[in-house]
Amino acid sequence: MMLSLIIAYAVNNTIIFLVMKAGNRMALNWLLNIFPYFITPFFMVVFIITFLALTRRIVKDLITLERGLQIITEGDLNYRVSVHRQDELGRVAFNINRMTERLQQQIIKEREIEKSKMEMITGISHDLRTPLTSIIGYIELLRTESFQDKEEYSRFVQNTYNKAIHLKKLLDDLFEHTQLSSVDSRLNIRNIDLFQLLDQLLFEFEPIAQESGIRIVKDLGNTPVVIPIDSDKIARAIDNLLMNALKYSLKPGMIGIRMRTDSDHLTIEIENKGIPLTPDQEKRLFDRFYKVDHSRSSEGIQAGTGLGLSIARNIAELHRGILTLNHAQDVFLFRLSLPFGQPLGENKKPHKEPSL
């Protein structure tokens, strides 16, 4: 507006000067008499024309902003306002685009969370329904006395018991996962001899492995290794890794367990040979409820919830550690690395996953 006033004033004064000079030179008294009546209208016309010319781009950009906001409010979050300026309008356009992008990311994240919850519900329903259906079936056989002899009766009871234990394990996995996913998840940190803990776990695991034709090869050293951990949770993580190796190992075969220490970390390695994974399977291996094709499972080993590796990784992260997989052809090497220092944020997970 100020620029329009200056231009209109300059043009107006120039016209006045030219008219007065021409009138005096040519003795056009009539022109000098009527010209003052046109000075103000002429000034207004020049001002308006100048103002419209200078604000044309601004008005155009304002219309673009208005149309862009209209498109965005109608639900097209892929639209971006095409206003490129270095002034206030440019900053408004930039903020509108940034707001739209963040809103789009938030919606995508909420959809992923919702999808994850639906997958969780579907997985839970499927995993719990199978053993529960078997339990109901066996109880119905026992209730109607549909057994031939005492031996068949005992077999029905034993199968019912096994299915109930399996159902309890599924529920325990689910409960453990929801606890680890909670922002209030806490660790009971104590100084624990991890050598002794791992040796005890392998002592209990070896008979199960031998029944499946698996030989255990240990390389744990022979000295105590004291580290501040939650022994129950670390035992759960290691047990999940051992059961995963047992379930997917080639039979007969071998599972190797090694423990290494350096100045800052303690590393437990669990290695086995199995059917190679595809890149997509390897990428999703630590996802909640993800299970590799059941054809790779061992006979006699109940199918799990697909939470074992996810739980193990969550436990490692709670201890400020990491759990990784190195997969080369048919060799699977899981590394659980834990720091020797007191875990920071022992009351909370480093990142939260959607829980039930």
Residue in the structure block whose two tokens are 């070896």: 206
Q: What is the mean pLDDT of the chain?
A: 79
Dist. CA 101–CA 107, nearest whole Å: 10
First to last CA, the chain: 61
Contact 186, 224 (CB under 8 A): no
Task: Give Cβ neighbours of residue 337 (< 8 Å, ≥ 6 apart).
Answer: 265, 266, 267, 268, 316, 321, 322, 323, 324
Query: 26 pLDDT exceeds 50?
Result: yes
Instruction: Please name which of 138, 208, 204, 174 lies closest in space to residue 289, comparing C-alpha atoms.
Output: 174
What distance in Å separates the CA atoms of residue 351 and residue 356, rounded to the nearest whole number? 16
In the predicted model, what is the mean pLDDT of residues 175-204?
Answer: 79
At residue 185, the pLDDT reads 62
- pLDDT score, position 295: 46
Tell me the mean pLDDT in the region 63-78.
Answer: 86
Q: Kindly state the average pLDDT of the residues 261-280.
A: 86
Nearest to 247 by CA among 228, 272, 268, 269: 272
Determine the pLDDT at residue 255. Answer: 93
What's the Cα-to-Cα distance from 182 to each of 118, 258, 286, 345, 349, rounded to whole Å?
18, 32, 18, 13, 8
Question: pLDDT tens, 89-130?
Answer: 788 888 888 999 999 999 988 888 788 777 777 777 777 787
Of 248-252, 279-283, 349-353, the range with the lowest mean pLDDT is 349-353
Nearest residue to 170 (alpha-carbon basis) of 297, 304, 313: 304
How far apart CA 331 and CA 271 sit, in angstroms, is: 7
What pLDDT score was predicted for residue 83? 72
pTM summary value: 0.56
Q: How far apart are CA 108 and CA 77, in angstroms?
A: 11
DSSP state of 295: G
Closest CA to 194 of 263, 269, 259: 259
Which pLDDT band, with edges at 50, 70 and 90, does 19 fall under? Answer: low
The stretch 26-49 carries a mean pLDDT of 70
Is the torsion defined by CA of 232, 238, 240, 242 positive or negative?
negative
